[in-house]
Structure formats: C-alpha cells, structure tokens
C-alpha cells in the first residue's frame, strides 16, 4: 500500500497485517524503525515519480511476490488559498501527488496483476471533497474529484481481467496527531453541525472498509464510491 507510514494508512496496513497479508508500505516519509509495524516491509517512494513508483513495485514483487491488492492512501492534504490566489506551483503539487500519484500507483498494480494473470483489488482513498468542495480547497478538491473518475475509468477497463477498482471517501477522521485539534470547541461545533452523530470517525472505520473491498465477497463491487463519513454528505448535500 502507499501512504501507509502514518495516520489512516498505517491503520489500514496494520489491519491487513493482522489478517495475515504480506504488507508492503510505500511512503515518502518512513517511520523510525522503533515504531514500524511488525512484519511490514517498508520502502521510500515518491508517489508522483513514475520511475520511483515502477521501481518500488518491482521491488515489492521481488521481496513479497505478486501484487494482488493495492490500497492507495498517499496524498497531500489541506486547504491552500482562495481560488484567485492559488499559484500554479500549489495547483500542480496537489494534482501531481493526489491525482497523478493515484494513476501511477494504480497502473503499476494493474499492469502487474494483468501480466501475472491474477485477479486483484485496487482501493483508492478519496475524500468527501471528491463530491463537494469548501473554501480555499480548489486544488485539493479538484484532485480528489479526479480520483473519483479515475476509479470509474480504471474499473471499466480492468473488469475483464477480474480486477476491481473502488474508492473510499472518508469524512472527518481523528488520527493520533489530530486528537487535540479535533477536540477543540471550534471543531466540536462544526462537527455538531455537519455530522448527524456529532462525532468524527476513527482510522479503523476506513481500515475495515478497505479490508472488505479486498475480500472475495466484494468481487461484484467495482467502480463504486464507498462513502465513510458518518452521514456528512447525506446531510450537507440534502
């Protein structure tokens, strides 16, 4: 998987490990050895670099065997600036990492699945911003909206090979570094307004969804957007 060194990605990687999967984590920032997941193979990778992605997938197959599941979680997060102040550099950074990175990782996984003649699962991590934007988020929302259509396009082309491609769209998720911020009175008020249950989710909510999409029981689900947001979109888009 990509982006599995911290946050939601680390939770997903650990969930797959606990189920007995051979897990490789590709991330531009690797964790210290002392906090790395047990029985997880790590490799540094710039997901926006075609050469780095292809080299990393070759290394994964050499180390662990054929790739049959990809969970792509690597992303650049956050707001940038009002639309009229967004620089081309900022725009390109979000597109390169979030959209082009999703394409490169998915293509690398899919091409190897096809070459190996093995059915596979590709799970892309999108966002509620794949469906709706917010202030100062044009680059991020545009990149994540692109991931949504990339998912559908790839699903159509790869279905004949037994490869499913789906997107998980998380809503607000509390990761350990953000617990204090998410507990602030300001964000608590926002969550009360936009989340029907009033509380954000946990990384395990995303990890369990990714696990399901990797199971044989999900074989007829492809090209789908799986929204895991506590009802946020149902409320704000109603």
Q: Are the beta carbons of 144 and 129 closer than 8 angstroms? A: yes
The whole-number pLDDT of residue 68 equals 97
Q: What is the pLDDT along the chain (238 residues), one digit of tens a residue?
A: 999 998 999 999 999 999 999 999 999 988 776 456 568 999 999 999 999 999 999 999 999 999 999 999 999 987 779 999 999 999 999 999 999 999 999 999 999 999 999 999 999 999 999 999 888 999 999 999 999 999 999 999 999 999 999 999 999 999 876 777 777 888 888 888 889 888 899 999 999 999 999 999 999 999 999 999 999 999 887 6
* Residue in 89, 202, 219, 225 with CA at minimum distance from that of residue 144: 225
Give residue 128's pLDDT.
Answer: 93
Q: What is the pLDDT of residues 64-77, one digit of tens each?
A: 999 999 999 999 98
Whole-model pTM: value is 0.94
- Judge whether 43 lies within some domain: no
| Chain segment 161-201, per-residue pLDDT in tens | 999 999 999 999 998 767 777 778 888 888 888 898 888 99
> What is the pLDDT, as a whole number, of residue 211?
98
CATH (domain of 121): 3.40.50.720
Q: Give the C-alpha distances (Å, rounded to integers) separating 116 from 155, 212, 225.
A: 18, 23, 27
Residues with a catalytic annotation lie at 140
Handedness of CA 152, 54, 209, 206 (dihedral sign): negative
pLDDT for residue 33 = 60
* DSSP secondary structure of the chain: -BS-SSHHHHHHHHHHHHTT--EEEEESSPPPGGGSPTTEEEEE--TT-HHHHHHHHHHHHHHH----EEEE-----S----GGG--HHHHHHHIIIIIIHHHHHHHHHHHHHHHHT--EEEEEE--GGGT---TT-HHHHHHHHHHHHHHHHHHHHHGGGTEEEEEEEE-SB--GGGHHHHTSHHHHHHHHHH-TTSS-B-HHHHHHHHHHHHSGGGTT--S-EEEESTTHHHHHT-
Rounded to 5°, angle at Cα 18 from 54 and 175: 75
Q: What is the mean pLDDT of the chain?
A: 93
- Tell me, what's the pLDDT at 238? 67
Q: Which residues contact 213 (CB under 8 A, 6 or more apart)?
A: 121, 123, 164, 166, 168, 221, 226
Whether residue 218 lies inside any domain: the answer is yes
Q: How many domains does the chain have?
A: 1
Residue 167 lies in a domain: yes
In a domain, 134, yes or no: yes
98: containing domain: 68-228
Note whether residue 162 is domain-resident: yes
Domain assignment present for 143: yes
């Amino acid at each position: 998987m990509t982006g599995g060194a911290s946050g939601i990605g680390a939770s997903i990687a650990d969930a797959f490990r606990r189920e007995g999967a051979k897990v490789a984590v590709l991330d531009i920032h690797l964790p210290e050895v002392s906090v790395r997941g047990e029985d997880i193979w790590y490799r540094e990778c710039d997901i926006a670099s075609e050469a780095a992605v292809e080299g990393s997938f070759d290394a994964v197959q050499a180390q662990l065997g054929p790739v049959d599941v990809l969970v792509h979680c690597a992303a650049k997060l956050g707001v940038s600036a009002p639309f009229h102040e967004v620089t081309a550099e900022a725009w390109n950074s979000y597109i390169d990492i979030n959209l082009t990175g999703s394409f490169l990782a998915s293509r690398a996984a899919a091409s190897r699945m096809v070459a190996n003649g093995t059915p596979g699962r590709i799970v892309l991590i999108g966002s509620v911003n794949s469906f709706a934007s917010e202030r100062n988020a044009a680059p991020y929302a545009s990149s994540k909206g692109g991931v949504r259509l990339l998912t559908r396009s790839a699903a159509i082309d790869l279905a004949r090979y037994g490869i499913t491609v789906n997107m998980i769209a998380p809503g607000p998720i509390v990761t350990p570094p953000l617990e204090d911020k998410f507990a602030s009175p300001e964000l608590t008020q926002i969550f009360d307004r936009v989340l029907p249950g009033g509380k954000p989710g946990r990384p395990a909510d995303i990890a369990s969804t990714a696990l399901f999409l990797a199971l044989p029981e999900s074989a007829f689900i492809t090209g789908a957007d799986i929204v895991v947001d506590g009802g946020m979109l149902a409320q704000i888009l109603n």
